[in-house]
Structure 1
Amino acid sequence: MTAEQTSADHYSIVAVASSAGGIQGLTVLLGALGPELPVPVLVVQHLDPRHRTVLAEILARRTELRVKLAEAEERVVPGTVYIAPPDRHLLVDSGGVLTLSCTELVHFVRPSADLLFESVAGAYGAAAIICVLTGSGRDGAMGVEAVKSRGGTVIVQDPRTAQFPGMPQAAVDTGVVDFVLPLEEIAAVVRGLVEAKRQ
C-alpha cells in the first residue's frame, strides 16, 4: 500500500522549507513540536554549498526530536527530522526512501523546496503537510501548488511576521494556502492536524 492510499486516515509526513532567517524559524518550529511527533519531518534550508553545515547539531540542541542530515537511500522514520545537505536536492518516494540529487539548481538554489514539495506531493498526496517559513525569493511556491493539487495541507508563516517575507509571500500568492500563521503558532497546528487524524 502506498502512502497516498493511506492518506484518508492520517498524515504521514511534514516537509518544511526556509531560507534567509530560517535557522531561527526552524528552531522555533521544531522546538515546539514535542518529542512524540508520530511522523517524520523533512527540511530544506538554503545553505552555503561551500561549507560543511552544523545545522543538524544546532537544531538538535533546540528540539526533543532526533535531527540528522539526510542520507541517500535512507528510509524515514517518525519523530526524526531530516535536513537536506548543502548543495543536494532532497526527494522522497512513496516508500519513504530519500534520494539526494545533484541535478541543476532550481530558482538558483540547491536544495530546492519546490523539488522536495513536488516529491512529497507525488509520494504522499493528501497525507502531506508542508510549511513555508521565512526566506527570500520564490522557492516553494510551485511545490505548494503541487501539494495542494494532491489534497495535501499547506501552512505558511505570515509574511508580516517573517524576517524575510519573500518565500512565504510567494506561497500565499498562489491562493491555495490553508493556514497563514505567526511562526509561534505553526507547531501547535501541525501537532493538532497530525494527532486529530489518528484518533
Structure 2
Amino acid sequence: MKRIRAVAMGCSAGGIAALHDILPALPANLPVPVIIVCHSGPAATDLLSAAIRRDCRLPVAEAQERSPALPGHIHVAPPDYHLLIEPDGTFALSAEERIHNVRPAIDALLETAAEAWGEELLAVLLTGANEDGAQGMAAVKAAGGHCIVQDPSDAVADVMPRAAIARGAADWIAPLDRIAFLITSLCQDSRP
C-alpha cells in the first residue's frame, strides 16, 4: 500500500455526531491532513468548525482559498462553498451550482482529491440521507485510492453509505466505533 498523504471525509444527516465519535479519537501526531465536507446550511458559518474543535487533539479550521492542506490538521469546508483540491494540494472554493441539491458537495471534494492524490488518498464516507459522495468514492477507487464506508446498519441515515457500497466503492465497511482506528492504522502504517 502506498503512503497515505491525505484523508477526505464526507457526511450529512447524523454527521456531526459521527464526526464527534471519530475526530477526537485521532492522535495528535496524525501525519496527514483530514479534510471534511459536512452538509450544512449557509447560515452555519464557523459553527461546524467550533463544534468539532471543542474535543479534538488536532487543530481545526475552515479551509481557506489557496491555503495548503496541512498534515496534522482538520480542514472543514465552509458553508455554501464547494471545497476542491488543486493538483498542488491547496484548497479552492467554488460557488458553482449545487450537486445533489447541496453545497458543499462531498462528490466535489472527493473527485478533486482523487485527481490530486490518487492512490495516496484515503476517503471516508459516513451517514447521510442522499447519494452525495458515492460518485466521489468511485472516483477515489478508480484513481487507486482507499475507501472506508460506515456500515449502513450503524448509520443514522443509511442512503449515503449504501449508495457507495452499491457502486463497489468500499474497501472497508466499518461501524462508527472502528473508523478512527482504521484511519489511524492506515495512516501510521503507510509512513515512509
TM-score (norm 1): 0.94
- Tell me whether 1:126 sits opposite 2:119 in the alignment: yes
Moved over 6 A (4+): none
Structure 1 residue 84: Cα displacement: 0.4
Shift of residue 53 of structure 1?
A: 3.6
Match of 1:106 in 2: 99
Q: 1:160 to 1:9 in 2, by over 3 A?
A: closer
d(CA) in 2 for partners of 1:57, 1:116: 21
Q: Which amino acid aligns with 2:117?
A: Y
Match of 1:27 in 2: 20
Q: Whose helix fraction is larger, Structure 1's or Structure 2's?
A: 2
**1:1-199 alignment runs, 5 A limit:** 9-198=2-191
Distance in 2, matches of 1:50 and 1:25, equals 21
Rounded Cα–Cα distance in structure 2 between residues aligned with 1:156 and 1:9: 20
Please tell me the residue identity of whatever aligns with 2:87: S
RMSD (Å), alpha carbons: 1.1
Deviation at 1:175, TM superposition (A): 1.5
The one-character-per-residue Cα deviations of 1:93-126 (angstroms, maximum 9, x if unpaired) are 2311100000000010000100100001100000
Range with greater deviation from structure 2 (88-97 or 38-47): 88-97
- Residue identity over aligned pairs, in percent, reads 40
Equivalent residue letter for 2:52: L
2:106 alignment partner AA: A
Structure 1 residue 62, shift from structure 2 partner: 1.4
- Unaligned residue ranges in structure 1 (runs of 5+): 1-7
Once residues 9 and 119 of structure 2 are traced to their aligned partners in structure 1, the CA distance between those partners, rounded to angstroms, is: 16
Q: CA deviation at 1:50?
A: 3.3
Please, what TM-score do these two structures have when normalized by structure 2?
0.97
| Total equivalences in the alignment | 192
Matched to 2:79, the amino acid is: P
